Amino acid sequence: MPEPALESEIGPAHLALLRQLSETPQVSQRELSQHLGFSLGKTHYLLRALAGKGLVKMQNFARSTDKASYGYLLTPYGIREKLELTREFLQHKELEFQALQREIVALRAELDQQQSPPDGETR
């Protein structure tokens, strides 16, 4: 049975965290928050949300001297969702980029029109 889509529940911050965890799974929440520019509380909240949805599995390394040291592994479902979210995010950013390009063209045309004197008029 396919899992439900998460677009409305998972946002860019979740995606940033998933991407970072796929690169460096054995990292502290403090390191994650510093790398991503999030508060420690926000990082904790996002990790708990991702774990609650089954996208991330948290593992405490019992042999670690730092008992707060965790590893955050993307589950197979988490890997699929990360890919889908990345596709959606990229599509959204491409649409924003195209809209910005149209706006830039319009603004340049407006400037050109304002800089050129009307026919028969001199500066």
* 95-120 pLDDT per residue, tens: 999 999 999 999 999 999 998 766 66
* 64-95 pLDDT per residue, tens: 565 556 789 999 999 999 999 999 999 999 99
pTM of the model: 0.71
**59 — pLDDT class (breaks 50, 70, 90):** confident
**Terminal CA-to-CA distance of the chain, rounded, Å?**
72
As its CATH architecture, domain 12-115 has: Orthogonal Bundle (1.10)
Q: How many CA atoms lie within 13 A of 108 on its CB side?
A: 6
Mean pLDDT of the chain: 85
Residue ranges per structural domain of the chain: 12-115
